[in-house]
Structure 1
């Protein structure tokens, strides 16, 4: 006995005829007749009395049909509740950004997303690259914005390419290194503040740290929060790392200066999402928003 047969039996009772039930169910009359016969055989009792104008439930049939109706109603409600829960979950979009210092570059995309789709609830999380990838692998993130090459190497992942980013070293206004050509050795002579030692900033950091005697990690401050790092740099001779597009802004130039030092080639970026399963509407909307307003 299965739910389909129960539906056929209940439909016959509601319409008082096998022919009418078959028409409403959009199945053949023989399919309904067989379903009723199968259920009667399994129960060992007749469900209906047949007569010229149709059928009526027997006493045993009435008890069974009423209970079957309740079971079907409960199942229909369960499916409706699951659909409603799925729609609610689709409204929550968990986005990872690596590294954390790039979160500010996502502002325009998030403004566009929430402005066009106010029902979406965004949960943004910045993290070092390895941490962000692990969160993505275990299903705690729906999308991850970060360096394209390592993301594309992940199994079961699709990537939308984004414009590349370029990192620059920056210092406070009036810093001793401002206004002259400098080398990696010059940069290595000062404390450095970085958001992480992997991800978008790995190459320039490693290039400079190779010039340091002893343990290079002892020369680094690691601060994921850009505002905190900028505050320290503004008050000291430390050197920080900033994305080139933000370094050109008037707000940044009013407080800091970019060093005349080639840091690295442009770094390809991407937004990664799982290739398997059904893509939520919210994820589709985010993918469009980040293409329209990329983190540059």
Structure 2
């Protein structure tokens, strides 16, 4: 028994004529007759009484027609669901984000999915890279957007769509350090307190190379938090210096240090290798391409006249 045979049954029941149904189905009349006879043989019961040129459903035919319509309708809905999922418009998408990507992507992603209506269900998790990778491997998440520098390479992880964003020391406008006319030392910056999210080993190495052992975050960072937006708000309303992705706080003033920081984050999309892609992931890629970029060039320390 096939869906094609069931569609033939439905058509013949509606027209009552082999010739009319064959024409509507773009079949020859003998081909339609063979299809119906084959279905009747499989079911072991006649579906139609042939009354001259008219074919009428038998009692068993009426019962079969109702079930055939249910099956065909369910199959059509399943096909439409697959088409919607292929276009990223339905299903469930579970994304984990590190602190930096979350600050840049979470709200735009929520808004973009909301525009698609209720067909696409989105869940966003925020945590450190190690916990997010554990959730990905446990199939609790479908994809991650994290700093690739904090990701341990592994054969079961597929990293793609990398975007490099530079880090910077930033303060509020009107901050005492923003008014100085020269480049600053790391010690001057730390005198006001340094805030950051947990930093990758690569960034820690760069800090120590640039500014000495005292620059390691375990010594220099006084305020550490996984939620970058909270740290940005702190820097906006206090004298704390923020070390973070420059693009996460475009309204803050970037400080110039000697030597320059020259440390970048490499944000990428992580999925499990050889796993079917979750619906809606193309939307995440699109947002990453549009938002994970440095729109601000390095700027000198703000000066007063």
Q: After the TM superposition, which residues 1-296 of structure 1 pair with which residues of structure 2 at under 5 Å, given as runs?
A: 1-57=1-57, 61=58, 63-79=59-75, 82=78, 83=80, 90=90, 94-98=94-98, 100-106=99-105, 110=108, 114=111, 118-119=115-116, 124-137=124-137, 138=139, 140-141=141-142, 144=145, 146-147=147-148, 150=151, 155=156, 157=158, 159-162=160-163, 164-169=164-169, 173-174=175-176, 182=185, 193-198=195-200, 201-204=203-206, 211=213, 216=218, 221-229=223-231, 231=234, 240-245=242-247, 249=250, 251-253=251-253, 257=255, 259-272=257-270, 277=276, 280=279, 282-296=280-294
Distance 1:136 1:245, change over 3 A: same
Aligned residues between the structures? 279
TM-superposition CA deviations, 1:264-295 (whole Å, max 9, x none):
44344334567864674x54344334323334
Residues in 2 aligned to 1:141 and 1:294: alpha-carbon distance in whole angstroms = 20
TM-superposition CA deviations, 1:197-256 (whole Å, max 9, x none):
4388454467689826xx9489765301235435389767x7642223457x4x312xx8
Distance 1:56 1:35, change over 3 A: same
User: SS state of the match for residue 166, structure 1?
Assistant: strand
Residues in 1 aligned to 2:4 and 2:198: alpha-carbon distance in whole angstroms = 58
Superposition TM-score, scaled by structure 1 size:
0.65
Superposition TM-score, scaled by structure 2 size:
0.64
List alignment gaps of at least 5 residues for structure 2: 295-305
RMSD: 4.9
Residues in 1 aligned to 2:42 and 2:92: alpha-carbon distance in whole angstroms = 47
